[in-house]
Amino acid sequence: MNITDNIIQAALLGTANRDIDFDGLPEALDGVMQAIQRAAHDREEAFYQAAAVAFAYRRAGWEPQPSAVVATAGEAPGEDLPYLGDGQNAMLSRLLQMRFLLPYAYRKAAAMHRIISPEVLPPLLRRAYDRNNSTGSEERELLAVLGGNRARWLLGLMGCSDTSADGAEAWSTASHGERKSILRSCRRDNPVAALEMLKGDWKNESAAHRNELLACLQVNLGKADEQFLIDVSQTDRSSAVKETARNLMFRMPDSQLAMRCRAILSGKIKYGRLLGWSYGKVEFTPEMKQMGFEELSPDKRENDNEYVLRQLAQRMPLAFWCELLDCNEERAAILLARKRPFGKFFELSVPICNYSDRQWAYYTIKESASYQSVTDMVGLLTAAQREEIKWIDKQTGFDTVPRSWFDANYEAWGPRFSRAVLSWLLHNGWLSFASDTAERLALYLDPQLRPDIFSLAPKTPQGVLPSVSEFCMKLEECMDLKEEIDKIFKDNANERNASWLAHP
């Protein structure tokens, strides 16, 4: 019988009726157990100490590690900045299970020019570096500032890559997910250096990884990226990667690809006040196929010639339509919203979102605020612009809030837009698993709406639907928590601290 069985029997029978048998123990453990027996005042004390030693010995794997593989942690480095207060650190720990409120609190804390206390850091770092954490990239960037020297020291012990290190250095050992984060971060500060970093390992990446890394170039996309995108669109082995390269070039109105499309379309589409839109004949060429266009419409109700022209037209910026219609931007946008070329087949949101044209989106939505036609464009508007729109009372099919509507800088929505979005969501009723939506909405809804949340919910003869009631309670809870975060991280220092996160 081994030591574990002896301890279990002694625990069941009681130390008054059973002695622990220490015979036949491993040499490394025998001397310790004999010393415990000699030093203990009674059987009970010996039992507890022996059980603790046996557990530790078992937990260590029965045999001690050789000294060659034992890692020494060393002493943690000192800090240059003061720590957050006890209440602020406690709040961060309290938010550990919150998906969106924790990154929000990080940003509030970062404006205070202080760092997180050491005892709070480990679980926050584990969460940030959890591969299943959808907000991990943002959290890692924020903790690179808020964690101080202690965070970098802990990351080494945890075996995690420090993505706050020099981009080129971190890139060589980073995972694919970490590389995307590094590339996006580097693109914001130095787009040219980020492009060179991407080129270095380009041919060694899989097609799926190349495609995802290439998409990161849309951050600070510019003419310096064009030649690389041309080469990829012509030579890459993956059709998906080629398409991504072409789409990126189409986001630049002055790219060679966009200008060539404009030249092909020029003169093939006209507008008259009396006759409306008219279209000329266009020959589909191998060049157009290489550009990613198709010759035959998938919808038999659409003329094939007009289908080819429509594909070209949906790549044109607002400046093209201003020139074609001989008017300013506002007038051109309104006319396109009222009388779209190619009828119902032409999607205005495609060129507007492609060029991220905020003014074009604003003019279009102001003309027609139907949810079905503007959902992709709302995210381009500022909070002030959204308040100028006369939103309709109800929107059918509104079961979730598009991610693009949430500004990365947590710009709060105005009361009109806040009320409209919440009303649409509550009237849909499919809110059984919408806790994430409630948490995220709490960061953007106008605080004045807090007392009216339940009053906006639709009533049935049995009262408010259970799923809707649960959502409303969750939303109230998150809005209250956001208000608490704002108070506890309130910074009365001058505005130089607010820029610290951008320039640590």
pLDDT tier at 502 (50, 70, 90 boundaries)? very low
Domain carrying residue 223: 176-250
Closest C-alpha to 270, from 319, 326, 230: 326
For residues 232 and 149, membership in a common domain is answered with: no
Contact call for residues 129 and 102 (beta carbons, < 8 A): no
For residues 42 and 120, membership in a common domain is answered with: no
For residues 406 and 491, membership in a common domain is answered with: yes
Q: Does 80 map to a domain?
A: no
Q: How far apart are CA 100 and CA 397, in angstroms?
A: 25
Of 250, 276, 293, the one marking the end of a domain is 250
- DSSP structural state of residue 99: S
Q: How far apart are CA 445 and CA 450, in angstroms?
A: 8
pLDDT tier at 401 (50, 70, 90 boundaries)? confident
- Measured in residues, the chain has a length of 504
For residues 476 and 400, membership in a common domain is answered with: yes
For residues 404 and 503, membership in a common domain is answered with: yes
CA torsion 339→342→343→349, rounded to 10°? -80
Contact call for residues 342 and 312 (beta carbons, < 8 A): no
Q: What is the mean pLDDT of residues 161-179?
A: 70
pLDDT of the residue at 116 = 96
Report CA-CA distances (Å) from 388 to 216, 326, 374. 33, 27, 15
Q: What is the mean pLDDT of residues 459-471?
A: 80
Closest C-alpha to 434, from 410, 400, 479, 396: 400
Contact call for residues 297 and 323 (beta carbons, < 8 A): no
DSSP output for 104-126: HHHHHHHTTT-B--GGGHHHHHH
Q: Which two tokens stand for residue 338?
A: 């009222």
Of 106, 136, 164, the one marking the end of a domain is 164
Q: How far apart are CA 61 and CA 323, in angstroms?
A: 77
Q: How far apart are CA 168 and CA 195, in angstroms?
A: 11
pLDDT beyond 70 at 142: yes
Q: What is the mean pLDDT of residues 398-411?
A: 86
Q: Does 347 map to a domain?
A: no
The chain-wide mean pLDDT, for the chain, equals 86
pLDDT of the residue at 440 = 94
Q: Does 458 map to a domain?
A: yes
- DSSP structural state of residue 378: G
48-52, 100-104, 351-355, 438-442: range with lowest mean pLDDT: 48-52
Positive/negative CA dihedral, 31, 73, 78, 158 = negative
Reduce the DSSP state of residue 503 to 3 states and report it: coil
Q: Does 94 map to a domain?
A: yes
The answer for residues whose C-beta is within 8 angstroms of residue 25's C-beta and 6 or more apart is 3, 33
pLDDT of the residue at 492 = 47
For residues 403 and 477, membership in a common domain is answered with: yes
For residues 397 and 482, membership in a common domain is answered with: yes
Q: How far apart are CA 290 and CA 313, in angstroms?
A: 17
For residues 409 and 503, membership in a common domain is answered with: yes
Of 218, 250, 282, the one marking the end of a domain is 250
SS3 of 392-422: CCCCCCCCCCCHHHCCCCCCCCCHHHHHHHH
Looking at mean pLDDT, say which of 28-37, 174-183, 256-265 comes out highest. 256-265
Helix (H) or strand (E) holding 384, with range, is helix 383-387
Positive/negative CA dihedral, 348, 354, 356, 357 = negative
**462: burial class by Cβ within 10 Å (0-12, 13-18, 19+)?**
exposed
The answer for residues whose C-beta is within 8 angstroms of residue 184's C-beta and 6 or more apart is 137, 216, 219
Q: What is the pTM of this model?
A: 0.76
pLDDT beyond 70 at 347: yes
For residues 201 and 96, membership in a common domain is answered with: no
Q: Does 154 map to a domain?
A: yes
The answer for residues whose C-beta is within 8 angstroms of residue 388's C-beta and 6 or more apart is 366
For residues 498 and 397, membership in a common domain is answered with: yes
Q: Does 454 map to a domain?
A: yes
φ, ψ (nearest 5 deg) of residue 270: -140, 160
Give the N- to C-terminal CA distance of the chain in Å, as an integer: 62
Residue showing tokens 């094939």: 304
Q: How far apart are CA 469 and CA 401, in angstroms?
A: 18
Q: Does 46 map to a domain?
A: yes
pLDDT of the residue at 13 = 67
How many Cβ atoms from other residues are within 10 Å of residue 312's Cβ?
21
pLDDT beyond 70 at 351: yes
Q: What is the mean pLDDT of residues 359-380?
A: 83
φ, ψ (nearest 5 deg) of residue 127: -65, -45
pLDDT of the residue at 393 = 73
pLDDT beyond 60 at 438: yes
The answer for residues whose C-beta is within 8 angstroms of residue 416's C-beta and 6 or more apart is 386, 387, 389, 391
Counting residues of the chain whose pLDDT is more than 90, the rounded percentage is 57
Contact call for residues 167 and 182 (beta carbons, < 8 A): yes
Q: Does 18 map to a domain?
A: yes
pLDDT tier at 501 (50, 70, 90 boundaries)? very low
pLDDT tier at 310 (50, 70, 90 boundaries)? very high
Largest alpha-carbon pair distance within the chain?
109
Report CA-CA distances (Å) from 271 to 320, 342, 379, 384, 472. 13, 11, 30, 33, 50
Please state the domain count of the chain. Answer: 4
Q: What is the mean pLDDT of residues 446-474?
A: 87
pLDDT tier at 32 (50, 70, 90 boundaries)? confident
